[in-house]
A and B are shown apart, each in its own frame.
Chain A
Amino acid sequence: MSSGYIVTILTFVAIYISLALSLNILTGYAGQISLGHAAFLGIGAYTSAVLAVHYGLPFWVDFLAAVVVTGMIGTILGLPSLRVRHDFLVLATMGVNFVVVSVFKYVDFFGGAMGLVNIPAPTILGLTFRGGAPYLTLTAIYALLTLAVCWYLSKTWSGLAFHAIRNDEDAAASVGVGSARYKIYAFGISAALAGGAGSLYAHFLGSVFPDNFVFVESIGMLSMVIFGGIGTLRGPIIGAIFLRLMPEMFRFIQDYRFTLYGALLVLMMLFQPMGLLGKDSWLWKFSTRVWPGYRTSKREEMP
């Protein structure tokens, strides 16, 4: 394996870490299960691609546009979540994913099934980031940014409100939380962060095709979040790293990648629904017990 190949893989890992973290805000913090997150990746990617290819706008413009546009569309697409929950919401998000991809495929402005190509490498402050280590740096910075946003969010009132809504909306109402707007906010910020990742995705690949953003991709993202540990910061990161790196390491698994995804999801639900490194998982409890001095909730548990 050449170092160039490794760098490419790591770049994807960084992008997917951002994606998993953004989905975690929606699904892990706010409890809105979404099986259509790839739609947001796609909206961000296409926004950037269209602005760069059709209008020749510079990277920082199309990147910001991707974030803002995806965020706004995200809040709109979050509206169904106000009326429905759980399985119905899952269906709605699947539907949204499907419709978004159809729009990309059948509307000529987006290049149709042939997609958009010749997306230029981003140029920031005169430096061109043409793949390789420079681009990895870019995506790594974005991943760290996303992580920072998620971390700070969890410390704010809105983060607490998300937890309340996720646990019990009636109880949340009884302490004065209006679920509706918080849910829309969750959709908005989750989409915005995914949109930024989409922009990076488009510029890295140089092209976008509708089939890059289908339902199966959404499942992949959700798997990362759940596998690693839903609702935690470490979970999506681990999930993204593990599920992206694994197929690259083993040829055999590469061919059966989705079989493995699927089987992993099922096994996780059967044995460790809180995720590999989730709050109550074997691995997390084990590693925090073994690591002395690490503050855990063990000593605060009920006598």
Chain B
Amino acid sequence: MTLLEVKHISHWFGGLQALKDVSFQTQNEILGLIGPNGAGKTTLFNIISGFITPTKGEVIYGGQRIRIHHLRPYQTVRLGMARTFQIVKPFATLTVEENVLTGLGMPFYPTSKALVQRYKTASNMEKVEEILTTTHLIEYRNSPAAKLPIGLQRRLEIARALATGPKLLLLDEPAAGLVSQEATELSDLILNLFHQGIQIIVIEHNMRFAMNLCQRIVVLNQGEMIAQGTPSEVQNNEKVINAYLGQE
């Protein structure tokens, strides 16, 4: 069963076309989404997770053939889709623990549960500890999120996304701003999550990171999909090489 199917997505921002007829599917893999700057990768993520309604085309999720663009962003979470952001958005006034807690079953709107139930229960805290341990953030649990360095903030965003119990994880440039050791740790973490059964799509600008990590790659350039395949196929693809060379 295909988890996610992107069908003929085209999108215009005013007069500017950001995406041109992009189609691909993904299942049971770590998929990489790469391309030079301005290729439209983040726009595609925004469309998949419901933040933007595409001008044309549709996104179909899970066997239920749900049309994503009829949903609001907070509803796609309910379907088991979680995302991180290109520019980290931690909840700055909350601690690391509390950031993760927000993912653990926050009612989507003020239900009676939201009004009355406390969030810091023992069972929730256990889950938080589990997630913080997996993402190696446990020693920072009480730090205000704003005070963490960028590498840890990126991990925190992943931890927060994990808390929602996703089946599909959309990571937007998770390795940006990381030094090579942190990037390796991140790679291990992503592989770990994949082996736990979570499917992952990664936008990455860092070619080496993406090639090492992903099983399949989709390449975008100026809104169009110019190649898809295994890392070695893509690396040797002429169009891809030209696209990146053209950037320099």
Contact = CB atoms under 8 A, between A and B. Distances in A.
Nearest to A153: B115
B89 A168 contact: yes
A171 B89 contact: yes
A160 B49 contact: no
B91 interface: yes
A171 B148 CA distance: 17
Interface stretch (A80-88, A177-185, A247-255): A177-185
A166 B91 CA distance: 9
A175 B106 contact: yes
A274 B18 CA distance: 41
Interface string B100-118: 0111001111100111111
Contacts of B77: 173-176
A173 B115 contact: no
Interface in A199-247: 231
Interface residues of B, number: 48
Most buried by B among A161, A175, A178: A175
A231 B93 contact: yes
B209 interface: no
B78 A167 contact: no
Contacts of B75: 176, 178
Interface centre among A177, A185, A279 (most CB of B within 10 A): A177
Interface stretch (A6-14, A61-69, A294-302): A294-302
Contacts of A160: 94, 98, 101-102, 106, 119
A3 interface: no
Nearest to B102: A175
A178 B85 contact: no
Interface string A81-105: 0000000000000000000000000
B186 interface: no
Interface in A273-289: 279
B85 A170 contact: yes
B91 A167 contact: yes
A257 interface: no
B163 interface: yes
A164 interface: yes
Contacts of B103: 175-176
Given A164-B102, A166-B93, 5 more contacts: A171-B90, A174-B77, A174-B160, A185-B110, A301-B143
Interface of A: 155-161, 163-164, 166-168, 170-182, 185, 231, 279, 297, 300-302
Interface of B: 49, 51, 72-75, 77-78, 82-85, 89-95, 98, 101-103, 106-110, 113-120, 140-144, 147-149, 160-161, 163-164
6 contacts: A156-B118, A157-B118, A157-B119, A174-B89, A176-B77, A181-B109
